Amino acid sequence: MSDIAHRFPENPILMPKDLKSSTPDLQIISLLNPGVFVFENKTWLLVRVAESISQKEGVIFFPVINELGKVEIIEIPLNDPDLVATDARIVQYKGLDYLTTLSHLRILCSDDGIHFYEPEGYSSLFGLGTLEQFGIEDARVSKLEDTYYITYTAVSSNGVGVGLRTTKDWIKYETKGMIFPPHNKDCAIFEEKINGKFYALHRPSSPQIGGNFIWLAESSDGVHWGNHQFLVGTRKGLWDSARVGAGAAPIKTDKGWLEIYHGANAEHQYCLGAFLMDLNDPSKVIARTLEPIMMPQENYELSGFFGYVVFTNGHLVEGDKLTMYYGAADEFVCGAHFSIAEILSCLVNESL
């Protein structure tokens, strides 16, 4: 396997101890998977902050947002026969799935792209309403003209879908609701219209027929989506055999739209790869990397809340330089540089 990432020597650049929890009774478990954007000539991150409550022996606690928008703690004895708690990320109780953490999105900014802080006057984004009662996660930020489109994973007892909020100043927001219903996530909106239409990558999931594949959708207004088309699937026997999902907004190059995506195998080990779409018709995939362009290899990627994970949904482009921010081991925020030309050179024309 190949790894062409040039990791920041300062990694991890953000750890749970670097921020304060949203309320005194919660503790930060993980900082991960930031959306990335440029605003007022600074680098900004929209970091997923996953919180929980201190656990006590013999009991499991997990937080949810109630109908009043307040955090409520659910408590279950570990010896309850209706409890299944074999995964660090999810517990099942009486046939229903619950997250072990509650996530919100925290705004951070930086003058150098390495050292980040919470600026005054900007509020965190929390789940709103019953469709976001288990939190909001893994934001992707796309800018079209003067508007930032924030897509994120909305989690509730009704399932996992894609929410959308828009803003021009990161102070006032318009909530557009759920734009892709369950089960769906990993939504990245292209930062340019193609033939007058918005385009987005998304990841519907089917445990029976089909799988966790990347699809393409189009829209006339950026809110209502249709003409869904299958785009990229998993590959048996390779590093992306179990699931694939889009990273941040596709990058426009003279060769086509370049997308960095994550793939995982049956052991839930996450690596990054890339594929290329036609500039005028993104439903046509031209090429794809056979090997990962980045794989977990540093200690902070191999060991954490959920180890052997590199996962990105945010980057910045300056000429040939791609600065990617990513979640490592589902616990830390890290950074890496890539050459776009080098990524393009790794692509292989193949039957997909």
Q: What is the DSSP string of 101-129?
A: SEEEEEEEEESSSSS-B--TT---B---S
Token readout for 213 is: 């594949």
Token readout for 4 is: 């062409």
Name the maximum alpha-carbon separation found in the chain. Answer: 59
Chain centre distance of CA 151: 9
Q: What is the pLDDT of residue 24?
A: 86
Q: What is the pLDDT of residue 60?
A: 76
At 132 the three-state DSSP class reads helix
Work out whether the CA dihedral 126, 154, 173, 30 comes out positive or negative.
positive
What is the per-residue burial (b if ≥16 Cβ within 10 Å, else e) of 152-177? Answer: bbbbbeeebbbbbbbbeebeebeebe
Angle 16-18-19 (CA atoms, 0-180°, nearest 5)? 80
Instruction: List all residues 6 or more positions away from 321 whose beta carbon is below 8 Å from its beta carbon.
Output: 337, 338, 339, 340
CA dist., res. 314 & res. 325, Å (int):
6
Q: What is the pLDDT of residue 352?
A: 40
Q: What is the pLDDT of residue 72?
A: 72
Using the 8-state DSSP alphabet, how is residue 194 labeled? B
Token readout for 9 is: 């020597």
Name the helix (H) or strand (E) containing 343.
Answer: helix 340-345
Q: Where are the beta strands (DSSP E) in 111-146?
A: 136-144
Q: What is the pLDDT of residue 281?
A: 97
Q: What is the pLDDT of residue 297?
A: 96
At 341 the three-state DSSP class reads helix
Mean pLDDT per segment of 10 residues, for the chain of length 352 residues? Answer: 91 96 89 97 97 76 71 76 72 71 95 96 93 95 97 94 98 97 97 97 90 97 97 96 97 97 95 98 97 97 90 97 97 98 91 44
CA dist., res. 225 & res. 288, Å (int):
26
Q: What is the pLDDT of residue 304?
A: 83
User: Where does 15-105 have alpha helices with state H?
Assistant: none
Q: Could you check whether the bond before residue 34 is cis, i.e. omega within 30 degrees of 0?
A: no
Residue with tokens 């007022």: 40
Partners of 50 in the beta sheet? 30, 103
Cβ contact 281:267 at 8 Å? no
Q: How many CB atoms lie within 10 A of CB 310?
A: 27
